Structure 1
Amino acid sequence: MESLIIRPGHLTAHQTARVLGITLGGVRQLVRRGQLTRSGGTPRQPWYKLADVQALDAKRRAREAA
């Protein structure tokens, strides 16, 4: 497996799933629904902007707290 060097300020799909507390399939669903946008990487190993993931996490936590 080829190792990719990820740009600063970005997360891999695995890291994104861990931050959001969901599965990789859940990350794919967020992308499919337009709630999260890929910002680099490859089709098989996408990256997501850290700021976007943090904003989505905060939004999800606020909804759970309400």
Structure 2
Amino acid sequence: MFEYAFDFLLVAVLVIGITALMGVITNGIGETIFSGKKKNENVEHTLKTQAGWRKVGGRRS
């Protein structure tokens, strides 16, 4: 019975781990291959939107 439980847990961990890593790996490959020149388009747009905003919160040094 111990062998069955061990095999079951091992397969479960491998399936869950491989499934979780597949999404991260696929996203990384997709960003490098298909992003082209628009890789930082969203970041640049956000920075243009926030230009001139006051800093709020935190401690003054």
Using structure 1 for the length normalisation, give the TM-score.
0.28
RCO higher in 1 or 2 (8 Å CA, sep ≥ 6)? 1
> Where is the strand percentage greater, Structure 1 or Structure 2?
1
> Where is the helix percentage greater, Structure 1 or Structure 2?
2
Using structure 2 for the length normalisation, give the TM-score.
0.30
**Higher-Rg member (1/2):** 2
